[in-house]
Homo-oligomer: A and B are copies of this chain.
Amino acid sequence: MDRIPILKLRDLLLVTIQVDMHDRLAMQLQDELTTRISETGARGVLIDISSLDIVDSFIGRMIANIAAMARVLDAQTVVVGMQPAVAITLVELGLTLPGVRTALNVDKGMMLLESGDGRAPTEMERDADGTH
């Protein structure tokens, strides 16, 4: 059952992370997600981490990688549902989620992606990355 489902919600993809991530699972998720983005032409990816009590550097790097891959495929990434304690720990550990927007919950994340607000700063980042 070690497979993280990727759900299509209109032109967005939703990933809910519930299980302990490990290297193979993270690789598999990245593979499947990029395939699904190109298949469906999704404009946004929502990553729900409301089940996670801890976001360590491994998870942080995975999310940043997914966001970078999605951006190259012209999709924006929004992390939703972060627990307050996780936000505190992230800041205390000095971890950042580069290139990733956050929203309080899935509804707000969808609104952010649909309004296009998720796009503007990322365009600038894209220029800065030189991928555009």
Interface on A for B, CB 8 Å cutoff?
A: 1, 3-5, 7-10, 14, 16, 18-20, 48, 50-53, 81, 105-107, 110
Contact = CB atoms under 8 A, between A and B. Distances in A.
Contacts of A19: 1, 18-19
A9 B106 contact: yes
Contacts of A52: 1
Give the 3 A-B CB pairs with smallest separation, nearest first: A5-B50, A7-B106, A18-B18
A86 B49 CA distance: 27
Contacts of A1: 18-20, 51-53
Given A7-B50, A18-B19, 16 more contacts: A1-B18, A1-B52, A3-B51, A4-B51, A5-B16, A5-B48, A5-B50, A5-B51, A5-B81, A7-B48, A7-B105, A7-B106, A9-B107, A9-B110, A14-B106, A16-B18
